[in-house]
Amino acid sequence: MSVDLKAVKNALTWRYATKAFDPSRKISPEAWAVLEDALVLAPSSYGLQPWQFLVIENSEVRQKLKAVSWNQSQVTDASHFVVLTTLRDVSADYIKGFIRRNMEVRNLAHDSFAGYENMMIKNIVDGMEKTTIRTWNHRQVYIAMGFLLETAALLEIDTVAMEGLDPKAYDRLLGLEQSPYETVAAVALGYRSADDKNQFAQKVRFPKDQVIKVIR
């Protein structure tokens, strides 16, 4: 195996929820491109990708978002700030658009995907309650969040996942209220401040044998 197991383990322990970012340090465009890949390449149920990721570069907007994020400094101090949003619903039109994308990418006719398309419309659009679809979509977004956090750690880029925010206020500030998408959570990324005491704190996890059970 060519993967360096120690390096991966080190990245997992090096990563922590960064409370204070160094505002003077920015993620390079090359590293940022890989972090975007982590979001784009994250898996989702049926491959539907019911999400959009908003990279907030505007500092005034970031100030406003901070005010509705318990005033957490990471919103304005991190190099990059991403709002993770998800579809409020999954419609037959969305599924058809996804199938068109499959046809395009794999250069195949609609026939190859007709069964898949019908099955998804039957199971999701006709078969699921709207509230179930909504929570299901939210769950997909957390997979992308995990990919982003882990990829950043491997690149020695600091992150904090953020649920400490008012999603409705985010939707208002970002003009999402009339859009098909709604805010789920956010991730701030950049480089830790030398003063952030959190980086020195022992990680608190339950013992491995309590969390992982082998069923033989």
The footprint of ligand FMN (CB under 6 A) covers 16-17, 19, 72, 160-164, 185, 203
Burial profile 101-123: b = 16 or more Cβ within 10 angstroms, e = fewer:
ebeeeeeeeeeebeeebeebbee
What's the closest the beta carbon of residue 106 comes to ligand FMN, in angstroms? 34
Cα separation, 190 vs 131, whole angstroms: 35
The residue whose two tokens read 């993967």 is: 3
What's the closest the beta carbon of residue 69 comes to ligand FMN, in angstroms? 7
Residue, CB closest to ligand FMN: 164
What's the closest the beta carbon of residue 129 comes to ligand FMN, in angstroms? 24
Cα separation, 97 vs 207, whole angstroms: 45
**Residue (161 or 169) nearer to ligand FMN, CB:** 161
What's the closest the beta carbon of residue 173 comes to ligand FMN, in angstroms? 17
**Residue (54 or 128) nearer to ligand FMN, CB:** 54
**Residue (90 or 188) nearer to ligand FMN, CB:** 188
**Residue (162 or 174) nearer to ligand FMN, CB:** 162
Cα separation, 6 vs 154, whole angstroms: 11
**Residue (49 or 74) nearer to ligand FMN, CB:** 74
Report helix, strand or coil for 54.
strand
Structure tokens at 17: 């929820």
What's the closest the beta carbon of residue 205 comes to ligand FMN, in angstroms? 8
Cα separation, 23 vs 56, whole angstroms: 15
